[in-house]
């Protein structure tokens, strides 16, 4: 059987990297020959988790077709979030928890999507169903991924499946107090002062095309939102640079306080009136909008934007 | 919880109708409130199976949004094969074994696709995983669906999963000799003389857009291919009528001999040279092309056409 590569989305977060490692391990146990790779270097949070559980980051690739004919995708399905030459390879497997958008295949394939908080939760259930043991260090990474995606089970994307998986994985990984570990891991990823302007605005950003508007939506976690906005002038400059270079018409940065689960948006570009309509709030004189209780780009930011831009 | 409708594709075959019945039953066992419906009346083969196992055909609907906000799709994902107002409802679940094409959602959802011969096989495994008993008459329908989709396990789409499911379902349904039952059921569906010209060319047809060409591909099963082609002049007339009415540029009818698993194509419309290139054969003076061993539209007809029209 020919080798396949397994990877998550560009600008990988902890789940994108971990889900690739876990699904590759799972498929190899079933007899496939796969290698987990990543479309970027691990961020500070992922590095903290990798160090904690003694695992190495996957190799970074920029293109796939130079190595393989077939790939397996985790944690994304939209082509513009994938490897740059995704149209030149065949996707044989997909495990995801996002909306399906512009994902077209020539052939039937293996897809498992669930509306859970984290792909690592879906994978935990797959391991359980096939009675495949999860190695302790991999379980630690999967625990970290769920804590990351759900902000320690506080995001509205969190399901009972995620809560069950966290308990199970903490036990397998030998993590006695997952709340304590989770706060330490989230804080490691939320050290805003250690991040460049580009990291803050674009490190976890995704591109969306809504109603003809090409927009970039970044998200940064912080312990104090002022750590982000004290640098607002520099961040705006970087956002405009990226807009000019990539043709984004709109750039939204979501700054999320991981301790109280509130967010503040910084919005630059065109059609900001539609952003205001999406959330029913006006931007203030600093182009910012406070959104208490909003932590999930996927569940609380993209859907109202979709309604406002496509409605 | 609000009620959801579950349905398969337009021009339903035995799997489209059965998979809706089976997935609705499965979801109701899990606590959802669903109703299986169909986008058309059952064909002769499905009627034979329904009668054999004492089940009623699902209610036929033309639109969904007048009844419900949410739906579950089985055995199709392409919007043009679905209910006419699919864009006005939310798809919450999908179980399928086809390529993914133009299936876009605003929200994450529950998807299980497997490259198996039949959706009823995927559903059989789902019942088994959740330890939900399949009632004997429903098992008989699911057995019939797999026999139908795989031409009694002879189609190249057949997987070991389908073979296992057939054995399991035959036992649950109390069908002692599934080969004997399967031939009788396929023959009931292959009574070409009992079918109208429209039934033959369009009864199981699907629309595809390949490389900008809108084409209709129908398939009819027969015990003798001559039963089809003795009516060729009338069939061509009907194909041209449907092309004019629906803007198809190309119409391909696959006539399949269910006893020896050979097919013959009848091709009318534009770009017939690309059809010839797809299969590496010339059409004869009667616009026909013999394709020994070809029985699967999905696996043996659409992929080479895709290469020829989009390559």
List of chain A residues whose C-beta atoms are within 8 Å of the C-beta of residue B114: 108, 110
Per-domain residue ranges for chain B?
4-188, 197-310
Model confidence pTM above 0.90: no
Question: Which DSSP string corresponds to chain A?
Answer: ---EEEE--BS--HHHHHHHHHHHHHHHHTT--EEEEEBS---HHHHHHHHHTT-PPPEE-S-STTT-SEEEEES---GGGS-TTGGGSEEEEEEE-S---S---SS--EEEE--SS-HHHHHHHHHHHTTPPPPHHHHHHHHHHHHHHHTTTTSTT--HHHHHHHHHHHHHHT-S-HHHHHHHHHHHHT-GGGS-HHHHHHTT-EEEEETTEEEEEEEEEESSTHHHHTTHHHHHHHHHHHHHHHT-SEEEEEEEETTTTEEEEEEEES-HHHHHHHHT----TTSEEEETT---IIIIIHHHHHHHHH-
DSSP state of B301: I
With CA atoms as reference, the chain B residue closest to A92 would be B115
pLDDT value, residue B289: 97
Query: What pLDDT sits at residue A261?
Result: 87
Please state, for a pLDDT cut of 90, what percent of chain B lies above it: 94
Cα–Cα distance between A139 and A124 in angstroms, integer? 9
Residue among B98, B106, B107 minimizing CB distance to A108: B98
What is the per-residue pLDDT for A30? Answer: 96
Q: Closest residue of B to A297, CA-based?
A: B107
Burial label for B176, CB within 10 Å (0-12, 13-18, 19+), is exposed
Asked whether the predicted pLDDT for residue B220 surpasses 80, the reply is yes
At residue A298, the pLDDT reads 85
With contacts defined as CB-CB under 8 Å, which chain B residues touch A296?
none
- Asked if A104's CB is within 8 angstroms of B102's CB, the reply is yes
**B111–A111 CB contact, under 8 Å:** yes
Beta-carbon separation of A106 and B298 below 8 A: no
Q: Which residues of A touch B (CB under 8 A)?
A: 96-115, 129, 298, 303, 306
Contact B106 A112 (CB under 8 A): no
pLDDT (mean) for A118-147:
98
**Closest in A98, A105, A110 to B99, CB measured:** A105
What is the predicted pLDDT for the residue at A252? 98
Cα B163 to its chain centre, rounded Å, is 19
ipTM of the complex: 0.87
Contact B99 A113 (CB under 8 A): no
Q: Which residue has the tokens 């007809």?
A: B301
Query: What confidence score (pLDDT) does residue B261 get?
Result: 87
Q: What is the pLDDT of residue B299?
A: 86
Taking 80 as the threshold, does the pLDDT of residue A137 lie above it? Answer: yes
With an 8 Å Cβ cutoff, are B100 and A98 in contact?
Answer: no
User: Tokens at residue B77, please?
Assistant: 């994902």
pLDDT digits (tens, 9 = 90+) for B59-109: 999 999 999 999 999 999 999 999 999 999 999 999 999 999 999 998 999
Band of residue B112 on the pLDDT scale cut at 50, 70, 90? very high
pLDDT: which is higher, A123 or B310: A123
Query: Which tens digit of pLDDT belongs to each residue from B14-54?
Result: 999 999 999 999 999 999 999 999 999 999 999 999 999 99
DSSP of A91-116? EEEEEE-S---S---SS--EEEE--S
Annotation: CATH topology of A197-310 = Diaminopimelate Epimerase; Chain A, domain 1 (3.10.310)
CB contact under 8 A, B109 and A115: yes
Distances (CA, A) of A274 to A40, A235, A307, A310, B139: 32, 22, 10, 10, 52
What percent of chain A has pLDDT above 90?
Answer: 95
Query: Does the beta-carbon distance from A113 to B111 stay under 8 Å?
Result: yes
Q: What is the mean pLDDT of residues A97-124?
A: 96
Å from B98 to nearest chain A CA?
5
Q: What is the CA radius of gyration of chain A?
A: 19
Q: Which residues pair with B206 in a beta bridge?
A: B217
Phi and psi torsions of B287, nearest 5° = 65, 25
3-state secondary structure (DSSP) of residue B6: strand
Residue from the list B108, B115, B298 with its beta carbon closest to the beta carbon of A113: B108
Which among B184, B146, B179 is positioned nearest to B163, based on CA atoms?
Answer: B146
Domains B4-188 and B197-310 fall in the same CATH topology: no
| Mean of the per-residue pLDDT values of chain B | 96
Predicted confidence (pLDDT) per residue in A72-82, tens digit: 999 999 999 99
Map tokens 């292959």 to a residue: B190
| Mean pLDDT of all residues in A289-294 | 95
The answer for residues whose C-beta is within 8 angstroms of residue A55's C-beta and 6 or more apart is A21, A137, A138, A141
Binned at pLDDT 50, 70 and 90, residue A299 comes out as: confident
Q: Which residues of B touch A108 (CB under 8 A)?
A: 96-99, 113-115, 298
Q: Is the pLDDT at B116 greater than 70, yes or no? A: yes
Q: Taking 80 as the threshold, does the pLDDT of residue A1 lie above it?
A: no
In this model, does residue A249 exceed pLDDT 70?
yes
What is the C-alpha to C-alpha distance for residues A102 and B307, in angstroms, rounded to an integer? 20
Average pLDDT estimate for A282-295:
95
Sort out which chain B residues have CB atoms less than 8 A from A129's CB and list them: 129
Mean pLDDT of all residues belonging to chain A:
96
Distances (CA, A) of B11 to A299, B4, B121: 36, 21, 20
Q: Which residue from A minimizes the CA distance to B303?
A: A106
The predicted pLDDT at position B228 comes to: 97
Distance between CA atoms of B163 and B168, rounded to whole angstroms? 9
Chain A nearest-CA distance from B138, in A, is 25
Nearest CA in chain A to B109: A115
By C-alpha distance, the chain B residue nearest A114 is B110
Cα distance between residue A251 and residue A262, in whole Å:
19
Closest by Cβ to A106, choosing from B112, B113, B306: B306
- What is the pLDDT at residue B204? 87
* Residues of chain B neighbouring A303 (CB-CB closer than 8 A): 106-107
Quote the CA–CA distance of A149 and A221 in Å, as a whole number: 11
Measuring CA to CA, how many Å separate A90 from each of A82, A94, A126, B195, B241? 13, 11, 23, 40, 38
B4-188 CATH, one of 1.10.287.610, 3.90.1640.10, 3.10.580.10, 1.10.10.10: 3.90.1640.10
User: Which of the four pLDDT bands, split at 50, 70 and 90, describes residue B1?
Assistant: low
Interval A141-180: pLDDT, tens: 999 999 999 999 999 999 999 999 999 999 999 999 999 9
Residue range B231-241: mean pLDDT, rounded: 97
How much of chain B exceeds pLDDT 70, in percent? 100
A305: nearest CA partner in chain B: B106
In this predicted structure, the answer to whether residue A25 has a pLDDT above a threshold of 90 is yes
Element (H, E) at B307: helix B302-310
- Give bridge partners of residue A237 from the DSSP assignment: none
Edge-first strand order for the sheet with A262-269 is A206-210, A213-222, A250-257, A262-269, A288-291
Q: Which two tokens stand for residue A238?
A: 């970087």
């Amino acid at each position: 059987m020919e080798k396949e590569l397994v990877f998550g989305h560009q600008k990988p977060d902890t789940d994108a990297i971990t889900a690739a490692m876990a699904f590759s391990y799972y498929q190899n146990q079933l007899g496939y020959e796969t290698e987990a790779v990543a479309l970027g270097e691990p961020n500070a949070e992922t590095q903290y988790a990798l160090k904690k559980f003694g695992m190495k980051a996957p190799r970074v690739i920029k293109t796939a077709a130079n190595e393989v004919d077939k790939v397996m995708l985790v944690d994304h399905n939209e082509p513009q979030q994938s490897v740059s030459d995704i149209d030149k390879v065949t996707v044989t497997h997909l495990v995801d928890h996002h909306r399906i958008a512009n994902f077209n295949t020539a052939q039937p394939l293996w897809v498992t999507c669930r509306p859970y908080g984290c792909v690592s939760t879906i994978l935990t259930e797959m391991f359980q169903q096939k009675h495949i043991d999860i190695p302790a260090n991999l379980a630690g990474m999967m625990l970290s991924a769920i804590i990351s995606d759900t902000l320690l089970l506080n995001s509205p994307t969190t399901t009972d499946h995620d809560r069950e998986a966290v308990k199970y994985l903490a036990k397998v990984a030998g993590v006695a107090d997952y709340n304590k570990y989770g706060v330490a891991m989230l804080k490691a990823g939320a050290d805003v002062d250690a991040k460049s302007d580009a990291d803050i605005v674009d490190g976890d950003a995704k591109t969306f095309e809504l109603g003809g508007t090409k927009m970039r939506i970044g998200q940064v976690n912080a312990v104090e939102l002022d750590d982000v906005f004290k640098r607002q002038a520099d961040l705006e400059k970087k956002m405009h640079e990226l807009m000019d270079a990539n043709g984004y018409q709109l750039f939204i940065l979501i700054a999320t306080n991981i301790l109280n689960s509130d967010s503040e948006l910084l919005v630059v570009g065109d059609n900001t009136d539609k952003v205001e309509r999406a959330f029913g709030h006006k931007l203030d004189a600093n182009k910012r909008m406070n959104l208490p209780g909003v932590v999930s780009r996927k569940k609380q930011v993209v859907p109202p934007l979709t309604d406002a831009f496509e409605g």
